[in-house]
Amino acid sequence: MPLHHAVLALLTRRPNHGYELKARFEEAIGPQWGGLNIGHLYQILERLVRDGYVSRSQVTQTDRPDKNLYTLTEAGEAELRSWATTAWVRVGGFRDELFLKLLGASALGPQALTALIESQRQTYLAELAGLARQRRAHAAEPLVAVLIDAAIAHTKADLGLLDSAAQHLGPLATAQGAQAPERAQALDGTDEAGGHGGTRGSRRESA
């Protein structure tokens, strides 16, 4: 539950209420992660309180409704330390839609594969240009800069993947393309057979 632990990390500095945590998370992580839904954040806080990792107290305010203040407990700090010092292991595999698109383009033949690869290449290059601008804008924010560097590295790796796809899938796409006229001819033959059969049937009915 990585977001739960990120909230614990933010609470190591000082107690916070919900909207402060939301703002601090988005400031610390930067644009690469995206915004944090406040409703989801309060669900996370409720679970952390329930598990004993965070305590909740109410702060009275004279000019506005009372607010809940969340404080990291000793159990919460121990949980954070256990999680933060353990290596991350990927468990979900690489379920990128690009791989499904490569499947579809390969089935359509070499022209479709080339069109996809070149279109995707231009998309990645545009992403790299945008990431470079973000990197310059966030150079003074260490964690945000690290996340942008990771995005740049991933995008460069994706560009290399396109070269690998062209090399390995090119022969498959060519073979699929060579079979296309045979498939089209088979479909035409089926249509013609169906049409002739329908004609014969009409003649028998009229007879």
The model's pLDDT over 58-98, given as tens digits with 9 standing for 90+, comes to 888 778 788 899 999 999 999 999 988 888 777 777 778 88
Helices (H), 58-141: 74-84, 97-108, 110-137
Q: Cα separation of 88 and 144, whole Å?
A: 19
CA 176 to chain centre: 30
| Angstrom distances, CA of residue 42 to CA of 29, 34, 79 | 19, 17, 19
DSSP H or E run through 168: helix 142-206
**119: Cβ contacts below 8 Å, ≥ 6 apart:** none
Q: If you write DSSP's letter for every residue of 28-68 in order, what string do you get?
A: HH-TTT----HHHHHHHHHHHHHTTSEEEEEE--SSS--EE
Mean pLDDT to the nearest integer, 5-30: 89
Mean pLDDT computed over every residue of the chain: 83
Over 50: is that where the pLDDT of 200 sits? no
The model's pLDDT over 91-129, given as tens digits with 9 standing for 90+, comes to 777 778 888 898 888 888 888 889 999 999 999 999 999
Instruction: Collapse the DSSP code of 73 into the 3-class scheme (helix H, G, I; strand E, B; otherwise coil) and give the result.
Output: coil
Output the pLDDT for position 197: 47
Q: Please state the pTM of the whole predicted model.
A: 0.66
Q: Is the dihedral of CA 121, 122, 126, 127 positive or negative?
A: negative
